[in-house]
Amino acid sequence: MDRGRKISGGKYKKPRKKKLYEAAGQTRVVKLGEKKTKLIKTRGGDKKLVSLSGKIVNLIDNKGKAKKAEIKTVIETPANRFLARQNILVKGAIIETDQGKARISNRPSQEGTIQAVLIKEE
């Protein structure tokens, strides 16, 4: 089967090219390390503070109380196991903190902070 062709042999044609605002932005990788943030401009002239690296997490415990904790390492990342090996912080990653295991609940590459929820140990 020829790529980009219909079963009849005709070509698939894109209706148009992507516009600039539809194009994907540059991916940001948030690593484990000293806190580093960047201020970027968004559509509409707004500004957004994004993380590039960090080691302090806002941790919510089982009682709903928030406290700051230090991240030791990334244990596992369900989305991609290779991200855990490189200590990359993404939403859903299981991290080891000085308070215990926690799951990252926000998207650090889109926000200037790292939020996590403590996991109950059985």
- Name 85's Cβ contacts closer than 8 Å, sequence gap at least 6: none
In tens, the pLDDT along 105-117 reads 999 999 999 999 9
Q: Which residue has the tokens 């939403």?
A: 91
The answer to pTM > 0.95 is no
In tens, the pLDDT along 18-54 reads 898 888 877 889 999 999 999 998 888 999 999 999 9
Provide DSSP, 66-113. Answer: EEEEEEEEEEE-SS-HHHHHTTB--TT-EEEETTEEEEE-S-TTTSSS
Q: In which band, very low, low, confident or very high, does the pLDDT at 122 lie, cut at 50, 70 and 90?
A: low
Q: Which stretch of 11-15, 47-51, 100-104 has the lowest confidence by average pLDDT? A: 11-15
Sheet with 31-32, edge to edge strand ranges: 31-32, 47-54, 36-41
Which of 3.10.290.70, 2.40.160.10, 3.40.228.10, 3.10.450.40 would CATH assign to domain 25-118? 3.10.290.70
Q: Which stretch of 16-20, 86-90, 96-100 has the lowest confidence by average pLDDT? A: 16-20
Looking at residues 42-71, what average pLDDT do you find?
A: 92
Residue 96 in this model has a pLDDT that exceeds 60: yes
Output DSSP code: residue 18: P
